[in-house]
A and B are shown apart, each in its own frame.
Chain A
């Protein structure tokens, strides 16, 4: 079993829709959770960084962590064509290296 599982997509939604991106993980020691956005031909860019369980909101983006289910989500409200990218989840504990998901390719149709 992979430490971090992420559906590769592609996921295609119409402009304005709410997008839900998810990752599951197996290591209950993970405490730090991140979402990165990667545009084509660019490096990953940190979008959201959360510690432990709960929600964190930043503009149109909400990151949610459910440690009991070992499940994290990124919600994008009022999605825009400029949100089209690959989204990577990442996580680690204080004692471990960062583990990345394989990424979900998202396309927002105008």
Chain B
């Protein structure tokens, strides 16, 4: 275990639902990240938070909304998603912006 946890591990939702993904790290890291991993594609960086401030938003649709209430917790709020948003959503944390430590991911299926 890397010290980064994610809940839920699996999520199935309809296109009209609202749900949230949660990430927690107990490593004392200052930076946290959301990534999307689709089959046979590179990891896509979605959002970066450094010291609880959003420092990067990679042209992600507004139906994805991140929240970082403190340096240990990161949320990804989801609403009116599309089937093509089905993927593995990975949270990571980093002490320095170099090495990243990943959680196990949330497998999201949008019906």
Chain A interface residues (CB < 8 Å from chain B): 2, 4, 8, 32, 34, 36, 41-46, 49, 88, 92, 97-103
**In angstroms, how far is the closest chain A Cβ from the Cβ of B25?**
12
Known: A43-B2, A43-B4, A44-B90. A99 touches B102 (CB 8 A): no
Residue from A8, A43, A101 in contact with B90 in the complex, judged by beta carbons closer than 8 Å: A43
Please name 9 further chain A to chain B contacts, defined as beta carbons within 8 Å, in addition to the given A43-B2, A43-B104, A97-B48, sorted by A numbering. Answer: A2-B42, A32-B98, A36-B102, A43-B6, A43-B103, A45-B2, A46-B101, A92-B98, A100-B42
CA distance A62 to B28 in the complex (A): 29
Q: Is the CB of B100 within 8 A of A46?
A: yes
- Report, as a range, how many residues of chain B touch the other chain: 20 to 34
Question: In chain B between 67 and 101, which residues have their CB closer than 8 angstroms to a CB of chain A?
Answer: 90, 92, 98-101
Known: A8-B40, A88-B43, A102-B40. A97 touches B56 (CB 8 A): yes
CA distance A32 to B96 in the complex (A): 12
* Residue from B42, B56, B90, B107 whose CB has the most chain A CB atoms within 10 Å: B42
**In angstroms, how far is the closest chain B Cβ from the Cβ of A6?**
8
- B1-34 CB mask vs A (1 if < 8 Å, else 0) is 0101010000000000000000000000000000
CA distance A8 to B45 in the complex (A): 20
**In angstroms, how far is the closest chain A Cβ from the Cβ of B43?**
4
* Residue from B4, B45, B100, B105 whose CB has the most chain A CB atoms within 10 Å: B100
A-B residue pairs in contact (CB < 8 Å), sample of 30: A2-B42, A4-B42, A8-B40, A34-B99, A41-B104, A42-B104, A42-B105, A43-B2, A43-B4, A43-B90, A43-B92, A43-B102, A43-B104, A43-B105, A44-B43, A44-B90, A44-B102, A45-B102, A46-B99, A46-B100, A49-B98, A49-B99, A92-B98, A97-B45, A97-B48, A98-B45, A98-B100, A99-B42, A100-B43, A102-B40
